[in-house]
């Protein structure tokens, strides 16, 4: 299948929350994109979603779309991202894969190889970069307004409430937990804002007791203009945290909402108490659906005109590597209220 | 005891979550945690553990039958805590019956049922409440449905020989506790009122102490077919409890003392109606007027909105008004913790009844029958709770 010069035919594989709440509403905003198929192993959900969004075809197996579409969005649970993406790339389809790109660096590298071999685009869903506050933060940091960057500090934490259809975030030790879910966004935003592809893990502490972590505290060093810049990242699925990114430079501190927003604070060194508040003159994407529309349009541009304005799989590698290091080298947080009296309780207490 | 599986309903809740933690980290039992949906902070907390997560609903008998298969013990913590009154009642009552049926069908060794001291009423009106005290219906969904559910448990025990152990915990507090931990802290932060000066009996139990008793109930046969009240040893008043929480905060509005009658009078005065506003409320509020200078801005505001109060206020000489204001201000300053917040709320009639109760619950039976001893004192429990509140960023 070759894309016509004006329109891309797309299948969305996986009909979970991200497809229903983001990709399908976003696709409606784009003139040169037609979703021809939705794919899901659960026929009932797939049919319901196809009917609700007026998608012409439903398929139970993704292989059924081969030869019928130009490109796919892979929005299945992360453990199947690599297998499905590689198969689609090998069958000549361009792939936009939801984050996290893969559950390991090795898988991600195999996906990149498949993309190169097949000469097809492999884009990664990293919508957070597209918010106004993320865009302006990167511009300010890159412009040198803050001077030399010497530290960063990011917190993102909420009581988890995303309506998951499958429990992968809570059951998959590689692709689940707050690091793989939230951390993948936060690490990507940090590296992209600083314009650095290089980061090294210092320390990672999580509250994982043998399942998947709900809280993580990470210390890392990012290379910024050949300087080693240290900083911290705190993530939570159970607590409301500050939810901002702070970048500290010699000339001042920038604070931006980590989830994206329309206000960025600049605490300049001459008056660190009263920030300069920046708000947009022209608003770009105003909400998540519009961010996904921009993300899709960049992918459509790539398919139609071979451009590369999307987030590449190579960029995702650094983030995945950090998360992998956290998983392998993480220490356990010890909270007194959790560990108190955990000694075997039944010793001497059971039936004689 | 090894390799036996425990099914926990309500595993994402306050008690269920801690029970799974304790079972996984401190026993050889395997755990199967039933969850209604793959979302929520309770699930995020639970999923940190190597526990088996099964999707199910106590209102779906098939999911329960599947979940109970091969289990040694079922600990039933789930109850209706969301939706309309009839939905909550259905979850608590029909849900419990579904759990009992599934347990019977699966042939489990025993069912531990988490009832509540609420089956004896908010204010049992007897000095010492033990397990033999009668059920007292408070005419609200929670207590009515918990009574009905516990009766079902006993019926299945009697008629079907299902081994059961029933725990009736009093007010449970500690890390992740909403009502008796987070709510109290938030109340103090916005200005708390102590009913009758906080002199009522605070029948609290720290979550880990309750879990200790549940573990004993699982393990020992002596408790089978019995109900146990769970309350901590310390005979606390509400003043003890609120002051301990208040000490965790750097700054907060003063704790206000009001009698139950005064609070009820304020409630009645706030109700609409010409008759009430012009005739009943003034009579009820005479004692209030006497203590006007002690009232919070919110309550003074309410009083000022009464038509008769506006009329009276015009008659009061300015110097008297200033004196009243000055007196009020110095009161706040004397306590050194700022002015009362306008977010202060009057306790509801139900809470007044609970806070004013002088009845004390006893844990004598659980000690005697299950050899239970309280391991975490109030002081230690409050230290642990404070650490959690700080971690949760609810206090500094």
Task: List chain A residues with CB under 8 Å of B27.
Answer: 344-346
Residue A164: pLDDT band by 50, 70, 90 thresholds? confident
Report how far residue B114's alpha carbon sits from residue A320's, in angstroms, rounded to the nearest whole number: 44
- Sequence-distant (6+) residues with CB within 8 A of B109 are B72, B73, B163
CB contact residues (below 8 A), chain A span 276-315, against chain B: none
Task: List chain A residues with CB under 8 Å of B41.
Answer: 159-161, 214, 237-238
Q: How would you label B25-63 residue by residue, b for 16+ Cβ within 10 Å and e otherwise? A: bbbebbbbbbbbebbbbbbbbbbbbebebbebbbbebeb
Report how far residue A156's alpha carbon sits from residue A182's, in angstroms, rounded to the nearest whole number: 8
Contact between chains at B371 and A349 (C-beta distance less than 8 A): yes
Residue A285: pLDDT band by 50, 70, 90 thresholds? confident
Chain B contact present for A216, CB below 8 A: no
CB contact residues (below 8 A), chain A span 331-350, against chain B: 335-338, 340-346, 349-350
* Mutate which: A182, A338, A339, vs B, most B CBs within 10 A: A338
What is the value of ipTM here, to two decimals?
0.87
Contact between chains at A160 and B43 (C-beta distance less than 8 A): yes
Chain A contact present for B45, CB below 8 A: yes
Tokens of A80: 């199947």
Chain A contact present for B270, CB below 8 A: no
CA within 13 Å, CB half, B195: 24
Domain with CATH 3.30.360.10 in chain A: 128-293+317-334
Q: Bridge partners of A257?
A: A244
At A216, is the secondary structure helix, strand, or coil? strand
Task: List chain A residues with CB under 8 Å of B25.
Answer: 209, 342
H-run or E-run covering B201: strand B201-202
pLDDT (average), residues A117-128? 96
- Sequence-distant (6+) residues with CB within 8 A of A36 are A9, A10, A11, A55, A56, A57, A65, A68, A69
What pLDDT score does A175 carry? 75
> Which tens digit of pLDDT belongs to each residue from A52-98?
999 999 999 999 999 999 999 999 999 999 999 999 999 999 999 99
Please state whether the peptide bond connecting residue A287 to the residue before it is cis, i.e. omega within 30 degrees of 0: no
What pLDDT score does A6 carry? 83
Report how far residue A52's alpha carbon sits from residue A47's, in angstroms, rounded to the nearest whole number: 8
Q: What one-character DSSP code corresponds to residue B337?
A: S
CA distance A343 to chain B (A): 6
Chain A contact present for B326, CB below 8 A: no
Chain A contact present for B50, CB below 8 A: yes
Among this protein's residues, is B146 annotated catalytic? yes
Domain A8-126 coded CATH 3.40.50.720: yes
Which candidate in B146, B151, B186, B268 is catalytic? B146
Mean pLDDT over all residues of chain A?
A: 91
Task: List chain B residues with CB under 8 Å of A241.
Answer: 393
Q: Bridge partners of A311?
A: A124
Tens-digit pLDDT profile for chain B (396 aa)?
457 999 999 999 999 999 999 999 889 999 999 999 888 899 999 999 999 999 999 999 999 999 999 999 999 999 998 899 999 999 999 999 999 999 999 999 999 999 999 999 999 999 999 999 999 999 899 999 999 999 999 999 999 999 999 999 999 999 999 999 999 999 999 999 999 999 999 999 999 999 999 999 999 999 999 999 999 999 999 999 999 999 999 888 888 899 998 888 888 877 766 555 566 555 655 555 555 444 555 555 555 555 555 555 555 444 434 433 433 333 333 233 334 445 678 889 999 999 999 999 999 999 999 999 999 999 999 999 999 999 999 999
Whole-structure pTM over 0.90, yes or no?
no
Task: List chain A residues with CB under 8 Å of B396.
Answer: none
From A322, A326, A300, A284, select the one nearest A129 (Cα to Cα). Answer: A284
CATH code for the domain defined by A128-293+317-334: 3.30.360.10
CA distance A130 to chain B (A): 26
What pLDDT score does B323 carry? 35
Report how far residue B67's alpha carbon sits from residue B137's, in angstroms, rounded to the nearest whole number: 33
């Amino acid at each position: 299948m070759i894309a016509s010069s004006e329109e891309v035919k797309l299948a969305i594989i996986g009909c979970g929350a991200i497809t229903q709440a983001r990709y399908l509403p976003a696709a409606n905003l784009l003139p040169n994109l037609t979703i021809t198929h939705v794919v899901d192993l659960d026929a009932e959900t797939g049919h319901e979603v196809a009917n609700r969004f007026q998608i012409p075809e439903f398929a139970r197996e993704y292989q059924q779309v081969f030869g019928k579409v130009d490109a796919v969005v892979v929005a299945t649970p992360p453990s199947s991202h690599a297998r499905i993406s590689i198969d689609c790339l090998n069958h000549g389809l361009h792939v936009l894969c939801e984050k996290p790109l893969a559950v390991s660096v090795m898988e991600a590298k195999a996906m990149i190889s498949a993309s190169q071999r097949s000469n097809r685009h492999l884009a990664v869903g990293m919508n957070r970069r597209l918010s106004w506050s993320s865009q302006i933060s990167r511009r300010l940091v890159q412009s040198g307004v803050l001077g030399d960057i010497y530290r960063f500090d990011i917190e993102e934490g909420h009581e988890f409430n995303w309506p998951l259809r499958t429990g992968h975030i809570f059951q998959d030790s590689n692709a689940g937990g707050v690091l793989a879910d939230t951390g993948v966004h936060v690490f990507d935003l940090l590296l992209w804002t600083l314009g650095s592809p290089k980061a090294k893990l210092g320390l990672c502490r999580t509250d994982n007791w043998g399942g998947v972590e709900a809280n993580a505290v990470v210390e890392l060093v990012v290379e910024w203009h050949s300087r080693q810049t240290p900083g911290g990242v705190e993530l939570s699925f159970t607590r409301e945290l500050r939810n901002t990114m702070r970048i500290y430079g010699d000339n001042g501190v920038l604070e931006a909402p980590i989830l994206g927003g329309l206000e960025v604070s600049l605490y300049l060194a001459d008056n660190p108490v009263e920030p300069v508040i920046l708000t947009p003159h022209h608003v770009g994407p105003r909400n998540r659906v519009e961010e996904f529309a921009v993300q899709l349009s960049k992918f459509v541009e790539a398919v139609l005109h071979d451009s590369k304005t999307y987030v590449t799989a190579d960029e995702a590698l650094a983030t995945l590597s950090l998360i992998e290091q956290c998983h392998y080298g993480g220490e356990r947080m010890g909270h007194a209220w959790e560990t108190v009296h955990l000694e075997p309780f039944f010793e001497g207490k059971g039936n004689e | 005891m090894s390799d036996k599986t425990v099914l926990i309903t309500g595993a994402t809740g306050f008690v269920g979550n801690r029970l799974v933690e304790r079972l996984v980290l401190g026993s050889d039992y395997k755990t199967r945690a039933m969850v209604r949906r793959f979302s929520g902070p309770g699930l995020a907390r639970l999923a940190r553990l190597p526990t088996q997560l099964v999707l199910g609903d106590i209102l779906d008998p098939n999911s329960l039958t599947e979940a109970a298969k091969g289990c040694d013990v079922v600990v039933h913590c789930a109850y209706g805590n969301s939706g309309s009154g009839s939905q909550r009642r259905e979850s608590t009552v029909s849900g419990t019956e579904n759990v009992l049926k599934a347990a019977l069908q699966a042939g489990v060794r025993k069912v531990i049922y988490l009832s509540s001291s609420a089956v004896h009423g908010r204010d049992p009106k007897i000095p010492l409440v033990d397990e033999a005290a009668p059920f007292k219906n408070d005419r609200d969904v929670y207590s009515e449905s918990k009574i009905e559910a516990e009766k079902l448990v006993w019926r299945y025990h009697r008629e079907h020989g299902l081994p059961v152990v029933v725990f009736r915990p009093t007010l449970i507090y500690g890390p992740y506790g909403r009502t008796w931990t987070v709510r109290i802290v938030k109340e103090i932060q916005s200005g708390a009122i102590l009913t009758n000066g906080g002199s009522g009996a605070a029948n609290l139990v720290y979550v880990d102490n309750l879990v200790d008793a549940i573990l004993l109930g699982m393990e020992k046969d002596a408790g089978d077919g019995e109900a146990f009240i769970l309350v901590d040893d310390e005979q606390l008043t509400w003043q003890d409890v609120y002051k301990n929480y208040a000490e965790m905060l750097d700054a907060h509005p003063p704790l206000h003392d009001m009698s139950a009658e005064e609070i009820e009078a304020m409630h009645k005065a706030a109700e609409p109606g010409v008759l009430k506003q012009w005739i009943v409320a003034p009579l009820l509020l005479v004692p209030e007027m006497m203590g006007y200078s002690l009232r919070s801005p919110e309550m003074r505001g309410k009083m000022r909105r009464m038509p008769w109060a506006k009329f009276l206020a015009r008659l009061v000489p300015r110097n008297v008004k200033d004196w009243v204001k000055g007196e009020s201000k110095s009161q706040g300053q004397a306590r050194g913790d700022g002015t009362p917040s306008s977010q202060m709320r009057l306790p509801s009639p139900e809470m007044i009844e609970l806070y004013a109760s002088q009845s004390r619950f006893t844990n004598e039976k659980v000690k005697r029958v299950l050899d239970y001893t309280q391991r975490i004192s109030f002081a230690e429990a409050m230290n642990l709770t404070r650490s959690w509140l700080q971690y949760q960023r609810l206090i500094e």
